[in-house]
Every structure is written in C-alpha cells, then in structure tokens.
C-alpha cells in the first residue's frame, strides 16, 4: 500500500506533472474568471488532448483545471459582480461590495486563501474518507433532495438583507422561471410558447450572466456620468499577511465552510453553487455582526470560496468510488477516465491505485499552485480594472457575456436568454430586487420539483406518504434545519425587541 | 451627457459585433471543395459531455481523422433531450460538415410525443449505426426475487407496489418498462430520473426496488445486483449468464442504438464517404475491443440498412405507445 502511495507521489512530482499542474491551474483560473466559460467546458474541450497522454498526466491536467476554474470564478464575481462559474454566486454578495469600496485586491486575497484551504480540506476528505462518505451519499434519495431544496430556499433570508419580502418574491420568480421547458419527470413541455429554444428551459449560465452582469454594466454606464473613475483603488501593503491573520482568527469559519462544501459536493446533483450558498448562509447565521454581510464582509467571501473549492473534491468522491459523478465537471472527468480505460469504482483503488492516487496528490499540488498564481493574476487583474475606462470596459464585458453565453452549447438561444434576463434583471433591480434570491430559486426549483414528484410516486407505491417524507433520518435533520432557519431570525427579532423595551442594561450579548 | 451617449453607441456596436461574429460562426461552412472533406468536420453530440455518446465519439475521433484526412471537432449541443441538436441538424446545410449523434429511440419518440419537437424523424439522414447498448432489468443482490418470473408474479398481485428506477420519461428505459407491463399485464411504479447516473443512485441507495439500466452500467455494478433479463435477441456477450427477455417467453428487445446522421438532402456521395469511414472505424479490431470492454455492443449498419431499421422501429414504437394510450 505505502509503496503504491510512494509510486503515486513520484509520478506527481515528476517535472512534466508539475508543469501540467501549473499550466492547468493558470488556464483554469482564466477560464473560470471569464463569465460563461466554465470548468465543465474547459475539461470537455481538453479531454481529446489528454487522450494521447499517459493516464496520470491527462488526469493531473484535468484535475488542476477543474479545481482552479472553480476558484477563478471568484475574480469576475468580485470585480464585476458576475459569477465566472455558477459556484461563485455567493462570492458576489460580499466580494463585489468590497471591490466597490476599493478593496478588490483584499477580496481576491481572501478568496484565494479560502479556496486553497477549502480545496485542501476537501482533498483530505477525498483521500482518507472516500468509501464511507460515498456509501453515505447513496442515502440521499428523492425525499432528501426535496428537503435539501426547502432548506436551500431559507437562504433567501440571508441573501436579501434589505427586504425579506422582496427576497421571497424574487425566489418565487426564480422558481417560476425554473419550470420553463420540458418537465424533468413527466416530460410535458411548459411555458415554451411553441418555440423550440425554450424547450430546454432557461439555462442557468446565461441566466446568471444576465441577472448579475448586465444590470451591473448598465449601472456602471449610468454612474460613469457622475464619476470618471471606475473603482477607487486602495493600496495596502502586506495584504496576504493581514488577510491570513484575519482568517486564522476564525478557524471555525474555514473548517465549517470546507466541511459544508465537501458534504454538499458529495451529493450527486448539488454542486459548488449550492455549496457556496449554504456555507454563506451558515456564516451569516453564525456571525454576531449579521448586518455587515452583503456590505462587503470578508467572512462572506471566505465562506463561499472555501465551500465551493471543497465541493470539487466532494464531487469526486462518488465519482471515483461509485462511478456516479457528483457535479457536471465531474461527469466530464468520468468520461475522461473511461477514455483512459479506467472504470470508476472499486478497481480505481486497487488495479489503478497508482494512477488514482497520483491524481489525488495532484489536486493537492493544484490547490497549492493556486496561491502564488492566483495572487499574481489577481493583483494584475485588480490593477488593470482600475485603469480601464467605462467606455472600454462596458462593451468588452457585454461582448464577453455574449460569446460566453453562446459557447456553452453553441446555442444562439442562450444569447437571447442572457439578453432577456439581463433586461428583466435591470428593471427588477430598479425596483429593489436583488439577483441572489432569483438565482437561488432557479437553481433549487428543478431539485425541489424532481424530489417532490419522485417522492410522491414512491409514497404512492409504498402506500404511505408520511413514511416517505417525514420518517427518514436525513430528511428529519433537513426538516429541523429548515425550521430552525426560518424561526431563528424571528426569535432573535422578538428577543431584541424585548431587550430594547427592557432597556439596554439587561440582556443582549456583547 | 456626450460621454454617456458615446458609451452607449460603443456598447451597441459591440453587441452588433458579437452577434455578427456569432451569426458567422453559426452559419460558417460556405466553401464547398471538389473532394469532400476539405476542412474540419463538426461531430456534434446533442447531449452534455461525459455521457456514452460522448465517450464513444471521443474514441472514434482519432480514427476518423486519419481516415478522412481532416480534423474532427467534437462539440456538444445539449438541450431538450437532444431535440435542440436534432432540430438544428434538420435545418442545417446539406454539406456533410456537421455530423450528429443519432440515437434510437430518442429520434423516433420525440416527434411522436411532441408536436413541437422541432424536427421529423425522417429529416435526419442516417449515415451509420455503430453501437447498441442493450437495456436490462435488475433487482438488489439481496432481493427476494431471483428470476424475472418471481418479479412479475409479485408485481401482478401487487399492482403499483414495485418501484422501478430509470432515466427519463419517453426514453428507452421508460419504453422498456411500458413494454414489459404491456406484455405481462403488470403495473410498476416508474420513477424517472434526469439521467442514467441519478437513476443508478436512486437504485443503489435502495430508494427503488428495480433498476432499468444500460448494459454498461449493469456490467460495472453487477456485483451489487441480480440482473434478471437483458433486451438482446441472443445472450449478451459481457453478461453470458443473464437470460434474454425472449428466452423467458417475452417477445421484446430493448436497447439504445447509437449512430450518426447528417442534414436532410446531403448528397449521397458525401454520405457514402462518411459511411465508409465509420465502417472502417467500427470494424477495426482495436476499437471493437475497447467498446467490448466498456459493455457496448458494436453494430455495422450502413446508411440504407439504418434507414430501414429506423422505419421498422418507428412502427414498433408507434404500436406500443398507441396500445398504451400514450399517443
């Protein structure tokens, strides 16, 4: 066993492997940072090239791209309020406000350190606990998906600090949008108005670009009238050290976020986007200074980024041990493994152990490589953004948004979706609706719908809806979490009000 | 004010620029050389990457490139269970520079079930059918059912109580379970998942009693299940101990057939050139061995035979769906 591990380590530490990790990491960060270009796409594009490589080299390259693209998504989230990959949605909530305060680099440093820590903790789980965690992931059936989605919807409260009502309406809009297209369960077409392009529904990535990016660009242009400069830039020395100190003081935040990320990643069908959002929600809930979230809290960026990078390793756990990919990019990696003649499953850890462990070690390496590469690229991009004027920036971003939307599946329909959602989002924003809750509804809608309908079918077959929905252990945990999540803010409010009435001396935690 | 106007003008220009570029990319493919092919061929998979069609195409790619002498670019145009891709192919240029995965029963069922599928089955010009993945039926390793007969017997006396995991509605798996119900007078509760992987997890996690799955998934997970029947006409090579449905007295076969098609009215000589290339790949012993190892059954159906096969399958599927009241 240990000789296998040593062989694997030797394979990873070869010059070619290290070079591939560096190339893959740098490329992944750039792909991730460009809205519309996702980890899934980058891996799919590169699979044919890795076909000719040795299995170790091919997988090392693809693994590095996967993990760093998820991290790279934070760049555009922070700089232009647009998640570069869906995983970075929660990063926009605090990352962009930080950038607008002139702390873009600080936000990027935070995202970088959190991503590295999250990624490494996730890989540790992957290396040491894969088989039991994969078994546990199978316990997640239709009712659990339904309750996970219900719990996920409670995040709306955390991501709409100004108005919960508008948050709920936004979430409802998102859920409604998610019903467009062919129903996942009974195959009926809904709200497609007889058009073909709406049959597959509103795709997530063009909608993300539309909801987050377009209103921001329009705002940029509107404000350019008043102020000449884009974002103020504060020069700060020893940023890395300072952020590191800040995060070390909150070990629990990093550990919690990474564990959440890993666990959500393991669940097939729930990827980095849900991981980041759930982790963000928990960070808000655990914080004493809830009001700072959404205004540029370092913790918000750290929670989202640690979780989404931990989810990369999480998604690989069921893929490698069971042959069931946990997220779309993992599904493409699954195909890459098949092409190398390696069938995911138990054999990977016996027959192909040297290759498999080399791949796992390379993920450690890729996460470490993200630190210098990310900081270097981040500093450069953050500086560049200060120098580019709105006249240049706005058209470039619009251009990239269009190309990005088109290139996902080569559908012009996706470009129209992006433009249409962008216009809708701009109008909604003027009315005080934030994109966060809408996108949350859009992501969770299909999960909730499938879970609900499959559970109803199961309940009918088993002759007891009650048993299916309320008598399964994981479901019960999720139900309790949902109820707590809904009641906690209300109870806090009641307590605060009472404390206020009784005077400042009594009650209240300092 | 002036400044804002300028920014807006630039933005509109950029928008138009992007649209023109994309439109150009969309409609590229003008030059028609004398000797097809003279430039790269797009091999479009109408599904998300990572699936079986994709993996097979990745395998074929290097062989095709050598045989055709041009680059073969694999692209993915996913959506609506493949219908988005097929609709684009049906409306595409008949120049042979876009070939697309052509999957049965998908291309037959979609236009039957939906008026707005965006294409008609006969619009897609079949080139070559290279692979069949038989569909089989399995139960858990510790299930009380040891044979298909046991399962059917139980299902008959307990209508709707047995849950079956499968991928999609109006899909190959769905069709197979409908056929089984129809032939045996039973009623199962079919739980459709959004793909083969989530369907497999629903079964492996013991959320359902029965699994309908493609042969490669059955082969990979055979240690964790009892496979009761497989939808081939003769015994399936990689699973020699599993009887067919036919052996057990049920006149049904079930499987997913994979081939490629081109746009309607593509000239016959172009189709023939592609057909020859795919035939050479499929009969290559190295390629065949790779397909076998993954649990795929290779087929060697040329354009004309493929077209007849589609016609025959269309008749069968229409009958089944009509008898079940799905049409």
pLDDT digits (tens, 9 = 90+) for A69-101: 999 999 999 998 989 889 999 999 999 999 988
Put simply, the answer to whether A460 touches B77 (Cβ < 8 Å) is: no
Q: Say whether residue A389 is in contact with chain B using an 8 A CB cutoff.
A: no
Closest CA to A375 of A108, A114, A159: A108
| pLDDT, greater one: A390 or A461 | A461
Burial A201-223 (b: 16+ CB within 10 A, else e): bbbbbbbbbbbbbbbbbbebbee
| pLDDT, greater one: A442 or B168 | A442
Q: Which residues contact residue A486 at a Cβ distance below 8 angstroms, ignoring those fewer than 6 apart?
A: A154, A157
Chain B environment of A468 (Cβ under 8 Å): none
Enter the DSSP assignment of A102. Answer: T
Alpha-carbon distances, residue A78 vs A92, A141, A248, A258, A368 (angstroms) = 6, 35, 22, 20, 21
What is the distance in angstroms between the Cα of B86 and the nearest Cα belonging to chain A? 11
The pLDDT confidence band at residue B7, using thresholds 50, 70 and 90, is low
- Read off the pLDDT of each residue in A134-143 and give the average, rounded to a whole number: 89
Put simply, the answer to whether A412 touches B220 (Cβ < 8 Å) is: no
pLDDT surpassing 70 at residue A504: no
Put simply, the answer to whether A410 touches B77 (Cβ < 8 Å) is: yes
B residues 130-159 lying closer than 8 A (beta carbon) to A: none
Put simply, the answer to whether A335 touches B54 (Cβ < 8 Å) is: yes
| pLDDT, greater one: B231 or A408 | B231
Q: Say whether residue A193 is in contact with chain B using an 8 A CB cutoff.
A: no
The pLDDT confidence band at residue A44, using thresholds 50, 70 and 90, is confident
CATH architecture entry for B133-255:
3-Layer(aba) Sandwich (3.40)
pLDDT surpassing 90 at residue A370: yes
Instruction: Give the tens place of pLDDT for each residue, A245-272.
Output: 888 888 999 999 999 999 999 988 788 9
Q: Which residues contact residue A468 at a Cβ distance below 8 angstroms, ignoring those fewer than 6 apart?
A: A143, A455, A458, A459, A462
Of B18, B48, B54, Cβ closest to residue A402: B18
Of A40, A141, A395, Cβ closest to residue B205: A141
Chain A environment of B191 (Cβ under 8 Å): 142, 454, 457-458
Put simply, the answer to whether B55 touches A338 (Cβ < 8 Å) is: yes
Instruction: Give the tens place of pLDDT for each residue, A308-327.
Output: 999 999 999 988 888 777 77
Instruction: Give the tens place of pLDDT for each residue, B248-285.
Output: 999 999 999 999 999 999 999 999 999 999 999 999 99
The pLDDT confidence band at residue B115, using thresholds 50, 70 and 90, is confident
Alpha-carbon distances, residue B231 vs B143, B175, B237, B255, B312 (angstroms) = 21, 12, 12, 6, 17
Residue A273's H or E segment, with its range, is: helix A272-286
Q: Please tell me the least confidently modeled range out of A154-168, A296-310, A337-351, A451-465.
A: A337-351
ipTM value for the complex: 0.84
Q: Are strands B225-230 and B98-104 parallel, antiparallel or unpaired?
A: unpaired
Chain A environment of B161 (Cβ under 8 Å): 461-463
pLDDT at A188: 80
Chain A environment of B116 (Cβ under 8 Å): 189, 192, 194-196, 199
Q: What is the percent of chain B where pLDDT is above 70?
A: 90
Chain B environment of A141 (Cβ under 8 Å): 202, 205, 207
Burial of B249 (0-12, 13-18, 19+ CB in 10 A): exposed
Q: Please tell me the least confidently modeled range out of A25-29, A207-211, A303-307, A411-415.
A: A411-415
Triad A373, A378, A381: Cα angle to 5°:
125
pLDDT at B297: 86
A residues 313-352 lying closer than 8 A (beta carbon) to B: 318, 322-325, 328, 331-335, 338-339, 341, 343, 345
A residues 16-35 lying closer than 8 A (beta carbon) to B: none
The pLDDT confidence band at residue B18, using thresholds 50, 70 and 90, is low
Name the token pair of A45: 């594009």
Put simply, the answer to whether A457 touches B163 (Cβ < 8 Å) is: yes
The answer to whether A266 touches A134, Cβ cutoff 8 Å, is: yes
Across chain B, what does the average pLDDT equal?
88
Measured over the CA atoms of residue B12, residue B15, residue B16 and residue B17, the dihedral's sign is positive
pLDDT at B98: 94
Chain A environment of B160 (Cβ under 8 Å): 460-461
Chain A environment of B105 (Cβ under 8 Å): none
pLDDT at B315: 93
Residue B128's H or E segment, with its range, is: strand B125-140
pLDDT surpassing 80 at residue A10: yes
Chain B environment of A399 (Cβ under 8 Å): 14-15, 17-18
Q: Say whether residue A396 is in contact with chain B using an 8 A CB cutoff.
A: yes
Instruction: Give the tens place of pLDDT for each residue, B194-213.
Output: 888 888 889 999 999 999 99
Cis link prior to B105 (omega < 30° from 0)? yes
pLDDT surpassing 60 at residue B1: no
**In this structure, how many other beta carbons lie within 10 angstroms of the beta carbon of residue A29?**
28
B residues 7-36 lying closer than 8 A (beta carbon) to A: 7-8, 10-11, 13-15, 17-19, 21-23, 25-26
pLDDT at B28: 45
pLDDT surpassing 90 at residue A113: yes
Chain B environment of A40 (Cβ under 8 Å): 48-49
Chain B environment of A450 (Cβ under 8 Å): 193-194
pLDDT surpassing 60 at residue A202: yes
Q: Write phi, then psi, for B99 (nearest 5 degrees).
A: -115, 150
Closest CA to A76 of A134, A131, A36: A36
Instruction: Give the tens place of pLDDT for each residue, B180-195.
Output: 998 999 999 999 988 8
- Number of A/B CB contacts below 8 angstroms equals 198
The pLDDT confidence band at residue B173, using thresholds 50, 70 and 90, is very high
pTM score, whole prediction: 0.86
pLDDT at B309: 95
Q: Say whether residue A471 is in contact with chain B using an 8 A CB cutoff.
A: no
What is the distance in angstroms between the Cα of B320 and the nearest Cα belonging to chain A? 18
Q: Say whether residue A460 is in contact with chain B using an 8 A CB cutoff.
A: yes
Q: Write phi, then psi, for B136 (nearest 5 degrees).
A: -125, 170
The pLDDT confidence band at residue B3, using thresholds 50, 70 and 90, is low
pLDDT at A158: 79
CATH superfamily of B39-132+256-323: Bordetella uptake gene, domain 1 (3.40.190.150)
pLDDT surpassing 60 at residue A25: yes
Instruction: Give the tens place of pLDDT for each residue, A427-486.
Output: 999 998 989 999 999 999 989 999 999 999 999 999 889 999 999 999 999 999 999 888
Put simply, the answer to whether A141 touches B6 (Cβ < 8 Å) is: no
B residues 236-295 lying closer than 8 A (beta carbon) to A: 290, 293-294
The answer to whether A442 touches A207, Cβ cutoff 8 Å, is: yes
């Amino acid at each position: 066993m240990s000789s296998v591990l040593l062989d694997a380590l030797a394979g990873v530490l070869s010059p070619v492997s290290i070079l591939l990790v560096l190339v893959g990491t740098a490329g992944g960060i750039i792909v991730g940072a460009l809205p519309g270009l996702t980890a899934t796409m980058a891996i799919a594009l590169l699979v044919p090239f890795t076909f000719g490589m040795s299995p170790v080299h091919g997988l090392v390259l693809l693994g590095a791209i996967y993990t760093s693209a998820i991290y790279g998504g934070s760049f555009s989230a922070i700089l232009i309020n647009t998640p570069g990959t869906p995983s970075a949605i929660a990063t926009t909530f605090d990352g962009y406000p930080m950038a607008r305060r002139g702390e873009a680099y600080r936000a990027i440093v935070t995202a970088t350190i959190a991503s590295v820590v999250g990624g490494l903790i996730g890989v540790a789980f992957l290396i040491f606990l894969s088989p039991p965690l994969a078994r546990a992931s199978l316990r997640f059936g239709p009712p659990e998906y339904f309750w996970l989605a219900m719990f996920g919807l409670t995040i709306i409260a955390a991501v709409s600090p100004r108005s919960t009502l508008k948050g709920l309406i936004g979430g409802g809009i998102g859920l409604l949008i998610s019903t467009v297209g062919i129903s996942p369960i009974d195959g009926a077409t809904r709200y497609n108005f007889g058009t073909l392009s709406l049959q597959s529904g509103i795709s997530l990535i063009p909608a993300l670009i539309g909801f987050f990016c377009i209103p921001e660009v329009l705002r940029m242009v509107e404000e350019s009238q008043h102020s000449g400069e884009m974002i103020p830039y504060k020069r700060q020395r020893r940023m890395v050290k300072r952020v590191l100190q800040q995060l070390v003081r909150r070990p629990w935040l990093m550990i919690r976020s990474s564990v959440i990320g890993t666990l959500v990643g393991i669940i097939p069908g729930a990827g980095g986007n849900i991981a980041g959002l759930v982790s963000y929600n928990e960070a808000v809930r655990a914080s004493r200074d809830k009001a700072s979230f959404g205004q540029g809290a370092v913790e918000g960026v750290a929670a989202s980024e640690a979780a989404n990078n931990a989810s990369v390793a999480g998604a690989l756990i069921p893929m490698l041990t069971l042959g069931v990919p946990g997220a779309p990019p993992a599904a493409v990696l699954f195909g890459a493994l098949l092409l190398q003649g390696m069938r995911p499953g138990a054999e990977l850890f016996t027959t192909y152990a040297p290759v498999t462990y080399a791949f796992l070690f390379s993920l450690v390496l890729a996460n470490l490589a993200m630190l210098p590469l990310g900081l270097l690229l981040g500093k450069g991009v953050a500086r560049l953004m200060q120098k580019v004027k709105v006249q240049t920036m706005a058209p470039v971003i619009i251009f990239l948004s269009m190309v990005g939307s088109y290139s996902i599946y080569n559908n012009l329909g996706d470009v129209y979706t992006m433009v249409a959602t962008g216009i809708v989002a701009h109008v909604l924003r003027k009315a005080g609706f934030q994109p966060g809750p809408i996108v949350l509804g859009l992501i969770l809608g299909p999960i909730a719908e499938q879970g609900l309908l499959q559970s109803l079918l199961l309940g009918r077959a088993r002759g007891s809806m009650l048993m299916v929905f309320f008598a399964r252990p994981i479901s019960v945990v999720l139900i309790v979490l949902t109820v707590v999540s809904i009641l906690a803010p209300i109870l806090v409010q009641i307590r605060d009000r009472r404390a206020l009435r009784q005077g400042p001396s009594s009650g209240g935690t300092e | 004010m002036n400044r804002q106007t300028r920014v807006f003008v630039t933005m509109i220009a950029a928008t138009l620029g992007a649209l023109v570029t994309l439109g150009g990319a969309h409609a590229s493919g003008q030059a028609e050389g004398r000797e097809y092919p003279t430039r790269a061929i797009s091999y479009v998979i109408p599904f998300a990457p990572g699936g079986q069609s994709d993996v097979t195409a990745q395998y074929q790619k290097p062989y095709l490139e050598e045989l055709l002498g041009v680059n073969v670019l694999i692209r993915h145009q996913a959506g609506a269970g493949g219908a988005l891709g097929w609709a684009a192919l049906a409306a595409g240029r008949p120049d042979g520079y876009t070939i697309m995965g052509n999957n049965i029963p998908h291309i037959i069922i979609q236009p039957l079930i939906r008026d707005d599928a965006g294409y008609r089955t006969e619009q897609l010009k079949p080139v070559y059918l290279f692979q069949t993945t038989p569909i089989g039926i399995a139960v858990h390793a510790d299930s009380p059912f040891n044979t298909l007969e046991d399962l059917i017997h139980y299902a008959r006396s307990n209508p709707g109580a047995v849950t079956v995991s499968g991928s999609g509605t109006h899909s190959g798996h769905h069709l197979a379970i409908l056929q089984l119900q129809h032939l045996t007078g039973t009623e199962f509760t079919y739980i459709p998942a959004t793909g083969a992987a989530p369907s497999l997890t629903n079964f492996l996690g013991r959320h359902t009693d029965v699994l309908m799955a493609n042969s490669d998934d059955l082969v990979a997970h055979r240690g964790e299940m009892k496979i009761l029947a497989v939808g081939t006409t003769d015994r399936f090579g990689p699973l020699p101990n599993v009887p067919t449905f036919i052996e057990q007295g049920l006149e049904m076969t079930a499987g997913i057939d994979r081939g490629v098609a081109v746009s309607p009215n593509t000239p016959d000589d172009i189709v023939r050139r592609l057909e020859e290339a795919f035939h050479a790949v499929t009969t290559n012993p190295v390629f065949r061995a790779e397909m076998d190892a993954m649990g795929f059954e290779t087929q060697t159906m040329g354009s004309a035979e493929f077209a007849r096969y589609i016609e025959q399958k269309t008749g069968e599927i229409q009958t089944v769906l009509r008898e079940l009241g799905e049409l």
